[in-house]
Each structure stands twice: as C-alpha cells, then as structure tokens.
Structure 1
C-alpha cells in the first residue's frame, strides 16, 4: 500500500528521505487538486507563516530535533496551511 504524504513526512530522517519526500510532494501536486495553496506565492507564504508560527512547537505539534524532518514538515504544511 502506498504511503500518504503525512506518513512520508514522518519517515524523513536524512537527506535521502528528505529528497524522496520532495519528489512525492511534487507528484502529489501534479495528481491532486486538494491543495490550499495553488500558486508558488501562496505556497511560499504558507510555509513561511506556518514555520514561523511553529518555531517553538504548537499545542498539538512537537518540533522535531531532526532538521531534515522539520524542513519536510514545513514544506508539507504548504499544501494544507491557510
């Protein structure tokens, strides 16, 4: 069974898994129209805003120690953060 993006983002541990996640994020964008941010401008704004808002963690989000995973999470949130 194919993993979801959410599952893949949580599998990121190093550069190779980060690059794999970016590839899957790209495929998801091509195959799905359920993205909140459809332009590069809105995507970049969303990743910036969520990254800044979550810099110290959030109520239901614990910031990981692994920088590769954190970067993947920020990119993932560009898909869904309004």
Structure 2
C-alpha cells in the first residue's frame, strides 16, 4: 500500500527521506493539483514561508520537531494546504 504524503512527511528523518518526500510532493502536485491551495510556485513558496514563520515557536496543535529535515519537510507540506 502506498503511503500518503502526510505519512511521508512525518517519516522524514534525514537527507534520504527528505528527498523521497520531495519526490512524493512533486508527484502529488502532478496528480492532485486540484487539492492544492496554491496555483503557482510564488503562492506556494509564500504560503510555506508564512506557515513556517507562524509556527517557528510551535502552535497549539503543532509541536515543532528538533529534526531540521523533518521541519523543512513540514514547512514544504504546509505550503500545499496553508491559506
């Protein structure tokens, strides 16, 4: 069974798993563009950066991980859905 993008982002621990996540993120965009809040690279990067800034100290339902690879993957994942 293929893992979801959400499952993959939570499994990121190192460079190899981060790159695997990036590949899955790319495939998700190609296959499910209608599920993305952002329709351009500009809006995607803006959303990712905005969420990253908002969550720099954690959020009510989000505990910032110590692992920088996982944190970067989470920021990129949130660029997909953050408004």
TM-score (norm 1): 0.99
Can you list the C-alpha shifts for 1:1-59, whole angstroms capped at 9, x where unaligned?
11110000000000000000000000000000210011011001101100000000000
> How many angstroms apart in 2 are the aligned matches of 1:21 and 1:58?
23
| 1:18 is the counterpart of 2:15 | no
Find the residue that maps to 2:76 and give its secondary structure.
helix
Unmatched segments (≥5 aa) in structure 1: none
4+ long deviations beyond 6 Å: none
Matches within 5 A, 1:1-82: 1-32=1-32, 33-82=34-83
Structure 1 CA distance for aligned equivalents of residues 59 and 15 of structure 2: 25
